[in-house]
């Protein structure tokens, strides 16, 4: 199972350092009521709940170099909850990967994201970024090391398993 502690550490750093410096106020993880009646736990909320943010440590490409569709879908889910949040006057998605920030700005320019949500890029310290990249590589290796038995049907694995009723 992939170790996500460094991602949590990055989120903490963004909330406690980068956001505090940028907005000149403290932020906390907080549960916010939704217009639809439920609640959602947001990554960063200021004291008066006028600013709500989701923090993402994802890059825009998979380890194989493809467009990270799943990661973008996660951001779209976060956008939905930001739009449903009852209290805020400002809604942000804070990205720690410049490539994802650029991808989100491109989506916004194309009219494919809500105009009410602003994307911000939080440059994290080099040491923290290095550990995040390493953890991401380990998680990718863990996922890609699936055995053939996990991904191929038996007919392709077992010699002579072809159907005899042809």
The CB density around residue 137, as the number of other CB atoms within 10 Å, is: 11
What is the domain range of residue 33?
5-157
Q: Which residues lie below 8 Å from residue 72, measured CB to CB, with a gap of 6+? A: 60, 103, 107
- pLDDT category, 145, cuts 50, 70, 90? very low
Q: Which tens digits make up the pLDDT trace of 58-91?
A: 765 555 666 657 788 899 999 999 999 998 899 9
At 74, which CATH number?
3.40.1350
- The pTM of this model reads 0.78
Tens of pLDDT, residue by residue over 22-49, are: 999 999 999 999 999 999 999 999 999 9
Give the total number of structural domains in the chain.
1
What are the φ/ψ torsions at residue 54 (nearest 5 degrees)?
-110, 140
Q: Are strands 117-121 and 90-95 parallel, antiparallel or unpaired?
A: parallel
71 within some domain = yes
């Amino acid at each position: 199972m992939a170790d996500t502690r460094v991602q949590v550490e990055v989120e903490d750093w963004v909330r406690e350092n980068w956001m505090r410096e940028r907005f000149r106020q403290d932020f906390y993880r907080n549960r916010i009521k939704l217009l639809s009646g439920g609640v959602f736990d947001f990554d960063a909320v200021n004291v008066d709940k006028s600013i709500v943010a989701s923090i993402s440590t994802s890059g825009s490409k998979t380890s194989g170099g493809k467009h990270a569709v799943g990661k973008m879908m996660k951001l779209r889910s976060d956008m939905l909850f930001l739009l449903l949040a009852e209290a805020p006057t400002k809604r942000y998605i804070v990205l720690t990967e410049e490539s994802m920030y650029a991808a989100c700005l491109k989506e916004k320019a194309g009219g494919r994201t809500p105009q009410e949500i602003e994307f911000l890029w939080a440059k994290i310290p080099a040491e923290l970024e290095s550990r995040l990249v390493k953890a991401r590589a380990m998680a990718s290796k863990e996922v890609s090391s699936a055995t053939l038995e996990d991904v191929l049907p038996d007919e392709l694995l077992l010699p002579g398993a072809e159907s005899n009723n042809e």
